[in-house]
Structure 1
């Protein structure tokens, strides 16, 4: 055991050379920030020409730890970041209404990404005989490539999102008609109790990987993964229906690792903001998922009418067209939170 009273020795397998680790972290920090910290927050705000209270608000929204006025924790990069932020505010890009939400979204997204990337690099580093040296080498060789790749991915998604928004009506309106679908793992809580931590992570990662592949390949877009649930949207209702049915079919196959799932799908006007979706259509899709039986896909009136080409008031005993891709079974109206008489249909392949 090493510590103040037990110095680390070569024979101690659990020894941690703290000075070496500190040196390694200092090198990595300097590489990531461009230089070693040499400025206080007061000096950063003064050099950027931004009021200190504005700078503090931005740092807080980004999720950075609070610093005292005399703490030397900043670099010239922080000055440039404040200047750029102030420029965006003057240009009207970061207005009073959008500033907090947008900056907070940046902070949360990059914090999660950084945590995952750091864990990955650390796992690779500890496999070698000299983790500190290996971590320093990885920071110098891997991170510049990761940074360029992140910029490329961001630009590609930005181009795609711009095309989607402007293609609607040329106005850039945030509300569009889309299909929204939630897919939820059946029996997640009970299954998770039987798995070791590593097995649980592997199981969830397999679900996320396969769900993402299906959504993207069939023309949908992942909005977010929420633990044991995936939320996606599609411009075409048929694409969303196909994705949901593929997932439930895979979940019903005992030979497939894909877990058993259930799905709820709704179609209508959806508001998109900061990468998320909002509105009654989203709420209805979530409520349908909560009442769907294992292995089934429930759709709302809007999705039913688009997929079937019928009115929701048509005779439910009328046979579906022989050449229709899907069949529907109207269920009883269901009371759910926020909707006392929600009308669902069970969606199946013909």
Structure 2
């Protein structure tokens, strides 16, 4: 009999699980597909009693969570886990081909699963303890930031793939570290760009200053960044709304090594003597014909006062 990662014996096929939970086949297929699996049955016993208990709680949430929200939650989990699993499988296969690695694939995948649970539990505890209380409609007043590598497209054509991989790894590692150290949250990375959010405008501004400092070494080319503040919709780990669009447009319009901020962000920083806001011409970008912005700079005279 197969064993699940948690050590419980797998006792249920997919159809037996559906019957045990009392789900309609139509709903079960919809959720199964949202998790990222093909709509076909399997004779394999792949579910444990612990799986049944967890999925029962999910299925019984229909009275407080509409079916559409349940399916959307399943899709977010499925997409995230699928991308993570594909990357992990590549890494594990590479390790398995190395004759100097003493562990089997099963040993490495088991250890990786345990570590993944540990890290997830810790991140969840931190989010529950320090997360921002939000309204029921999940709208928040946040600073949204984008930073990307200047000239990435042409650069990617000139350098070898292994060099490109090292560049992106350095960019992702360093930006995550800086955003987290300043109390922000990385929403996602988009290859040569990172999107992040902050509750504190000053911390967001300090973060972009630190991000530009990465280019002082040869590891990462110059960056450009954009910051916008306003009401956003937070949904399934992502954020949506006008500040997201504006921050992206500002980053795309910024000169190498600079940060542009929108009006509301500028007002939020007006009393912060760490920064200086420089006037720039009104921008005409996709979706915004007259976008007012200012360039964010550190206050060079602060140390002289």
Q: Is residue 155 of structure 1 aligned with residue 107 of structure 2? A: no
Deviations 1:68-118 (A, max 9, x none): x5x4244233x7645633432323454223112110010011111111222
Contact 2:223 2:257 in 1 (8 A): yes
- Structure number with greater Rg is 1
Q: Normalising by the residue count of structure 1, what TM-score does the alignment of the two structures yield?
A: 0.76
Contact 1:287 1:337 in 2 (8 A): yes
- Could you say if the C-alpha distance between residues 94 and 150 of structure 1 is closer, same or farther in structure 2, counting changes exceeding 3 Å? farther
Q: Note the C-alpha offset of 1:173.
A: 5.8
How many residue pairs get aligned? The number is 298
Q: Note the C-alpha offset of 1:271.
A: 2.2
Alpha-carbon separation, structure 1, partners of 2:22 and 2:93: 38
Contact 1:37 1:73 in 2 (8 A): no
- Could you say if the C-alpha distance between residues 80 and 56 of structure 1 is closer, same or farther in structure 2, counting changes exceeding 3 Å? farther
Q: Normalising by the residue count of structure 2, what TM-score does the alignment of the two structures yield?
A: 0.86
2:66 alignment partner in structure 1: 95
Query: Aligned Cα RMSD in Å?
Result: 2.8
Q: Is residue 84 of structure 1 aligned with residue 54 of structure 2? A: yes
Alpha-carbon separation, structure 2, partners of 1:268 and 1:52: 43
2:156 alignment partner in structure 1: 192
2:34 alignment partner in structure 1: 61
Q: Is residue 331 of structure 1 aligned with residue 283 of structure 2? A: no
Q: Is residue 42 of structure 1 aligned with residue 6 of structure 2? A: no
Unaligned runs of 5+ in 2: 300-305
* Aligned residue among 222, 240, 250 for 1:288: 250
Q: Is residue 119 of structure 1 aligned with residue 68 of structure 2? A: no
Q: Which is bigger in relative contact order (C-alpha 8 A, separation at least 6)?
A: 2
Structure 1 runs (4+) greater than 3 angstroms displaced: 29-44, 79-84, 91-94, 142-145, 163-168
Deviations 1:260-294 (A, max 9, x none): 11000011222211111111111110111111111
2:230 alignment partner in structure 1: 268
Q: Note the C-alpha offset of 1:225.
A: 0.4
Alpha-carbon separation, structure 2, partners of 1:66 and 1:101: 17
Q: Is residue 307 of structure 1 aligned with residue 269 of structure 2? A: yes
- Could you say if the C-alpha distance between residues 30 and 81 of structure 1 is closer, same or farther in structure 2, counting changes exceeding 3 Å? closer
